[in-house]
Structure 1
């Protein structure tokens, strides 16, 4: 079986890496801020890599699941990055699978430059929740050539219930940004609708009694309102800082495509304002409280 490397053991990555290990693949993992996931994986049989270069030198396939474009760039092209490790070891044929939500322009640029070193980069950003990462039920939105996808598919199937091939490298990140624009757009709309309703005497409970089960209901709606109604912070663990990052990337993509995306910019600006006031580590459903507080109202029971 190919030796797998994994960098980025956060909410999603920890569960993904655990499933790769459970399937019997030799696994090398790279530590970052939180030691608990890596200590658990090592206890279950994984090996800790000293740096990203070691992943490039010793692995056949390396998965990245980090915050965004700067972190991807650093892991690949840092002084002790994956490219340097593969190059120094004389290793060709390495495949890097970027599961982060990154910028499509950077993805295509890195893919082109890595190919000169015999390294293939594909993008496979994720759909789903940390709970689905643990149970192996994520979605992978893949930008890749057919041959590379088939090479990595058996490993991806250890953590993904659905693998969607949407085009060549960069297409996965493009589609993921569009998906997250829809999700974060709904989050912004829910937050403002709840505040307007509360100011007009419509409680969150009344709001939910009309929307739940209607055509406007969805999985995103349900986890968002699990926080609004039950105050369950863990129902939807996606930070406002990440929401701002993704909507910023989408607005930049729209600008590069010469699209004056007024809605995208408005959504981006709302998340940017939440992060700028120090709420970046709060989760997306908590935007409802942030917006309500700005208008001197409360949505809590």
Structure 2
């Protein structure tokens, strides 16, 4: 199969190189100013395209790895979008983090022209993408998943079929709410601890030995100790977007979002102050009242 990829960012670059190196598939990608440097993947044979329609026309499977629902909708159904160039029977695999209701609409548009759609958001980090060890939460028809499983296997360690179309994105928003919520809470506690002059190693040891032990603590620990932000290369602005998507999903379902509202407010303060491109571990510093 020929694979198209749209969104060669922190995660998409790793996906592209894994599809090329581990999977051995031919790759076309959308040439876009938001891409990471593409020298490595073009050196491996990836071919740039000027529009989503051109990517679609070259591909049996198109992987999307973009910021959110507005970008996905523009790529799928916009001018020169994927639906104007897809081959019959092609599959779109949306690895973005998007709103479930938007995903259902995009799926309907794609199925109407004889193609298929899966939502397959990722968990784990850019390092795992580079290593071909992402985990995917896949929503959609089981038969469609089997059709593209060899492609997905080239950049993943685990692929979980979690239900019908949109359930992947629903579960990703639940996951990111819990993950970002935990890290925001921990960052606020770490900031207060630092302001009070508590030894950071003692702070970490106390949490790790009690109720604070978690993956979130492990990812923030390098920053708390050494201001090493690479434990989680995830932009604060994207964290806010995901929390607000969760709140939108909750509002549509009539669900409670009191705690999510507080997390959004805390992160929005950092974004509004111009720190949207900081990584999430840097919230430890941004939440401090001293020595910011």
Please tell me whether residue 72 in structure 1 is matched to residue 68 in structure 2: no
Deviations 1:74-129 (Å, cap 9, x if unpaired)? 1112211111122xxxx311110000011111001111122111121110000111
Instruction: Say which SS state the counterpart of residue 85 (structure 2) adopts.
Output: helix
- TM-score scaled to structure 2, two decimals? 0.95
Instruction: Please state if 1:233 is matched with 2:233.
Output: no
Q: Which residue of 2 aligns with 1:102?
A: 98
Superposition map of 1:165-184 within 5 A: 165-184=161-180
Residue 203 of structure 1 is matched in structure 2 by: 199
1:102-161 deviation per Cα after TM superposition (whole angstroms, max 9, x unaligned): 111100111112211112111000011111111111100110111001011111011110
Distance in 1 (alpha carbons) for counterparts of 2:54 and 2:185:
45
What is the CA-CA distance between 1:176 and the residue it aligns to? 0.4
Larger mean CA deviation between 237-246 and 217-226 belongs to 217-226
1:7–1:63 contact (8 Å) kept in structure 2: yes
Picking from 173, 187, 193, the partner of 2:189 is: 193
Q: Does 1:138 align with 2:138?
A: no
Q: TM-score, normalised by structure 1?
A: 0.92
Q: Distance in 1 between matches of 2:95 and 2:114?
A: 20
Query: How far off its partner does 1:34 sit?
Result: 5.0
Structure 1 ranges of 4+ moved more than 4 A: none
After superposition, the Cα gap between the structure-2 partners of 1:251 and 1:55, relative to the gap in structure 1 and judged at 3 Å, is: same
User: Structure 1 residue 56 and structure 2 residue 52: aligned?
Assistant: no
Instruction: Note the C-alpha offset of 1:36.
Output: 5.2
Can you list the C-alpha shifts for 1:34-78, whole angstroms capped at 9, x where unaligned? 565422211111111121111111210000001111111111122
Task: Supply the distance in 1 between the matched residues of 2:155 and 2:174 (Cα, whole angstroms).
Answer: 23
Say whether the 8 Å CA contact 1:38–1:48 is kept in structure 2.
Answer: no
Q: Which runs of 5+ in 2 are unaligned?
A: none
Query: What secondary structure sits across from 2:63 in the alignment?
Result: strand
2:174 & 2:36 partners in 1: Cα distance? Answer: 33
Distance 1:181 1:95 in 2: 28
Q: Which runs of 5+ in 1 are unaligned?
A: none
How many pairs were matched up? 291
